[in-house]
Chains A and B, each alone.
Chain A
Amino acid sequence: MLRIDRRLLTNFDWGLFALSLIIPLCGLVVLYSAGYDADAAVDLFGLLSVEFASAACLKQAVYLAAGIIIMVIGMSIPTHMFHRYAFVMYGAALLLLCAVAGFGVVVNGSRRWLSLGGFNLQPAEFMKLGLIVTMARLLSKSPPKDGHAYRLTELLIPGLFIALPMGLIMQQPDLGTALSLGIVGVSQVMFVGVRPKVLLLVILSAVVLAYPSWHMLHDYQQRRILVLLNPEADPQGSGYHITQSKIAVGSGELFGKGYRQGTQTQLEFLPEHTTDFVFSVLAEEWGFVGTVFLIMLFFGLLSFMLRVAHRSRDLFACLLAFGITAQFFAHIVINIGMVIGLMPVVGIPLPLVSYGGSAMLSLMFGVGIVQGVSMRRMLFRAAP
């Protein structure tokens, strides 16, 4: 039950709120162009048919509206509730992941989805929040014994919590999600502090493990990584996405080709241009100016979220806000990096911009949680 507390509104972070709306609104502008199809009548979830030239844009607008509601819900849930139900969330998500491994639906060669009647559910999405919350709780419950940095032994349990879902997701296979999950969990640990020796050991063992794990990767995953090193080697096959995306981005030059004038996008040379490669559309049509503008907005968003983490009431809230920030960060860097040929093509959408309902909802929920942390920073010892 929501209780309107005046103090809650006092600490409402308007900057965060504004950016969390401005970025998806920019996204809508880009999506209108990316999903442009003059003849299409948009069928809105089987409810009504609307005359609108861009299905992706219109549907995303609906998702954004839903996302705002979800964000409000997210900010309304008291932070301690996440603390209380952390393991429940984690456990439930883990169970679902196991269920996927057992009888998930295979789409495009990956077993990622659970079929629930009409729609498909991707448990990995739940695990993202589940892991952040659980790590926040674990780490805040047992901060480093020496007060500064963790020893190796102290990291065994958090490490297990990270590795378990990562492994399950990796074998789906979904390299991108597993990677971002790992980045988020590890960055939470690092945020609290790790001894340099431990850090070194982890890096070393990662290098040593890289060789066998390379062979554990699926062919297409190996190819995507190799292609990154030399995309022109196979411009029609695996390199096609990267090559076309780089052409789109580069050909935007300083000011872009103009709104809805992107030939790579409009003529569909660019694959997945409403989802994973939406950033290329922005780059092609708005140029360097546009890309820097969006990256600055993202940096603003990350800064506001980090400020919330900084000001938060307790270590759990701090780690919770930081974890969500880290997730945004990981998605932004992986997605843009992949679009501009710095990272393998792993299918991570650009937060708040890429078309997609579930990503929009889960990310807006995350923003809501951070907002909630901000609102409650002065509320010590809330009524039990």
Chain B
Amino acid sequence: MPSLDRSSLNITFRIWVALGVSFFCLFVLILRLWYLQIIKGEYFRDRSENNRLRTIYLPSPRGLIFDRNGELLVRNRPSFNVDLVVEDSPDPKKTIENLAEIVGEDSQVLQERLSKQTKRRRFEPKLLLRDISRDTVGRISAQRHRLPGVIVSVVPTREYVHGGLASHVVGYIREINQDQLKSQTYRGYRMGDDVGHYGVEATLERYLRGERGSQAVIVNAIGNKIGEAFFQPEIPGTNVTLTIDKKVQSTADKLLEGKRGAIVALDAQTGDIIAMSSGPRFDPNMFTSEISKEDWSDLTNSKEDKLSNRVLQGAYPPGSVFKIFVAAAALSEGVVTPSERMTCSGALQFGKRSFRCHKHSGHGAVDLFESIVQSCDVYFYTVGQRLGVDRIYHYAHDIFGFGESTDLGLGEEVPGLIPSTKWKQTYFREPEDKRWYPGETLPVAIGQGAVTTTPLQVARALAAVVNGGRLLKPRIVRQLVASDGRVIQQASEQPEVVGTVDIEPWILDKVKQAMVGVVEDKRGTGHRAALPKERGISVGGKTGTAQVASRESGSKRDDHAWFAGYAPADKPRVVVVAILENAGHGGAVAAPVVHDVMASYFGVDDVGVATVADDGALPED
């Protein structure tokens, strides 16, 4: 056994050194722990909280949309979306490739969609595919093992129950885009959210949207939910009841099927829009999933212009429909009396020019009533001359509200135009163009020339004539009811009157009598609008055949066909205005359309007149 030679090796010293080294090393460890736990403790505590808490947003279903009778127009159906939680996928790129292969998509596209969503964190689901079919869900489920991090979520998706019914009123939603995300208007929105893009969906976005809920869940390292830390339920969007009547609306929609034109039915007393149809329509359901290029170019095709609501955005020359208002103006200004007769020889010589009446053979001697019933142009040329353009402007613009937006609140409205000397002054640059020539007043008096109006303006002005002189603000929303049942907004029984027609009642009565004549008189241009006699609902109205400026063929078919009607004549409840682009004569084409809408409104089983072929046996207007 060797002995410990304490003299040669100083063991005590060596032990102390060893102790010192141990102490030093352990002290370094303690220093490091001090740094991690005390100095950076708060930072690491935050990180550990981030680790365990994941906030999941709960989408709020959008508000439902009903017609005035409570019929469901727009609802939410459950649909399947595919999301990817990047953190749960060891190789996101590979996962996306697999997914693309399974669902038959381009993996490049999916990859791009993913990389755009930079605002979402690794552990948050990122949307890859929307509204996939049950079939695809099945295929994805079967291949689960190849798709780590891929989740199929069930989300409420917009469904327009009746397809394109009232598409221009209801509108559509789309996924929020990058520009919107950046704008202040859309604060609080997140990538992948839906946002109203058109119609009521857009204008009532803040009500329909509801409030997203959130849920903080405690998860373990493999992402399994093991508890809940915090929960705020989503608040579904506010339900909207429109003034639209589904039955009347669908009649109007059908009438415009395959045609370009507009129909609007307005409650003459309240300004409620009963039906608003613009043809051609679109199917808002197509916007809930990806839109193909073909579909998009079809939607934006400039001739069809499907996305334009012609009731608000179509500025058409009103043609003879305008005579209603010119007549009222003329009587009110005393430039003509109801009994004064003027002779129509088929044309009016004015200076060197000859202004023709649509009836080349002439109407003979006509008074106010006959001139409206038969739509004599010569009578109105004369009346217009006597009034002068600025007085026409005054009545049309200041009293009947033409040339201005109606403030419906359903997207952009085209104001239309009522010309005046002042308008010429400001609108034209060359001095000789700035002058108003008296001859220019003549076409204005029959709703041609520079005059343009929207169908809604015509409907509103006609309502003012027949409802006792109240110019109403049209309305489309009847009621907003929050998800908790609270009524947020209720259209009052009293209409919002934006102007009073300062015209003596007897004058309006004379005009109304003439309009009833248009429909009921044997020489009336609009008798096709008449409802069956046995129902006792008499209809008044005015036809219009607006010439289109750029007319090449000279065919009458190129004219816009108008009819603006109201009923019942004795106690007007509804005003219906229809215009059919390049469809021919108002009396032949538009009057039957208005008849059908009214028949639908009054529940008269007589719809279908409009589909009867034009027999041409009508007096022209």
Contacts and interface: CB of A to CB of B under 8 A. Distances in A.
B345 to A, nearest CB: 93
A101 to B, nearest CB: 32
A72 B415 CA distance: 103
B36 interface: yes
B220 A310 contact: no
B42 A253 contact: yes
A295 B18 contact: no
Contacts, number: 152
B51 A253 contact: no
Contacts of A322: 18
11 contacts: A83-B1, A250-B41, A251-B44, A251-B48, A253-B38, A253-B42, A263-B51, A267-B218, A291-B37, A307-B15, A315-B9
A147 B33 contact: no
Contacts of B221: 267-269
Contacts of A244: 51
Given A83-B1, A253-B45, A333 B25 contact: yes
A21 to B, nearest CB: 21
A80 B44 CA distance: 52
Those 9 A-B pairs whose CB atoms lie nearest each other, nearest first: A250-B44, A253-B41, A147-B8, A251-B48, A267-B220, A314-B4, A250-B36, A251-B44, A288-B37
Please classify how large the interface on chain B is, using the bins under 10, 10 to 19, 20 to 34, 35 or more: 35 or more
Contacts of B25: 329, 333
Given A247-B51, A336-B29, A340-B36, A269 B8 contact: no
Contact of B36 (A140, A246, A312, A325): A246
A143 B51 CA distance: 56
A265 B66 CA distance: 53
Contacts of B2: 140-141, 314-316
A192 interface: yes
A220 to B, nearest CB: 16
B32 interface: yes
Given A141-B2, A254-B37, A264-B51, 6 more contacts: A144-B8, A147-B9, A246-B36, A295-B33, A316-B1, A340-B36
Interface in B562-584: none
Contact of B34 (A248, A288, A329): A288
A302 B21 CA distance: 11
Contacts of A313: 4
B41 A314 contact: no
A307 B14 CA distance: 11
B175 to A, nearest CB: 30
Interface string A32-54: 00000000000000000000000
Contact of A264 (B28, B48, B219): B48
A298 interface: yes
A317 to B, nearest CB: 8
B29 A191 contact: no
A332 B30 CA distance: 12
B94 to A, nearest CB: 15
A247 B52 contact: no
B19 A306 contact: yes
Contacts of A247: 44, 47-48, 51
Given A292-B33, A340-B33, A248 B12 contact: no
B100 to A, nearest CB: 23
Nearest to B226: A267
Contacts of A333: 25-26, 29
Interface of A: 80, 83, 140-141, 143-144, 147-148, 187, 191-193, 236, 244, 246-254, 263-264, 267-269, 283-284, 287-288, 291-292, 295, 298-299, 302-303, 306-307, 309-310, 312-318, 322, 325-326, 329, 332-333, 336-337, 340-342, 381
B365 interface: no
A303 to B, nearest CB: 6
A337 B40 contact: no
Interface of B is mostly: helix
B613 interface: no
Residue of B30, B37, B44, B226 most packed against chain A (CB within 10 A): B37
A327 B44 CA distance: 32
Contact of A287 (B8, B28, B37): B37
Contacts of B3: 314-315
Nearest to A84: B1
B534 interface: no
Contact of B5 (A236, A253, A287, A315): A315
Contacts of B49: 263
B43 interface: yes
Contacts of B219: 267
Nearest to A80: B1
Contacts of A340: 29, 32-33, 36
A263 B8 contact: no
B18 A191 contact: yes
A251 B218 CA distance: 17
A299 B18 contact: no
B222 interface: yes
B133 interface: no
B549 interface: no
Contact of B29 (A141, A268, A269, A337): A337
Contacts of A287: 37
Contact of B51 (A140, A269, A302): A269
Contacts of B5: 143, 147, 315
A273 to B, nearest CB: 10
Contacts of B32: 340-342
Contacts of A326: 18
A268 B222 contact: yes
Nearest to A142: B2
A382 to B, nearest CB: 9
B23 interface: yes
Nearest to A289: B37
Nearest to A284: B48
B11 interface: yes
B22 interface: yes
Contacts of B19: 302-303, 306
A336 B220 CA distance: 25
B51 A310 contact: no
Contacts of A309: 11, 15, 18
Given A249-B36, A299-B26, A254 B41 contact: yes
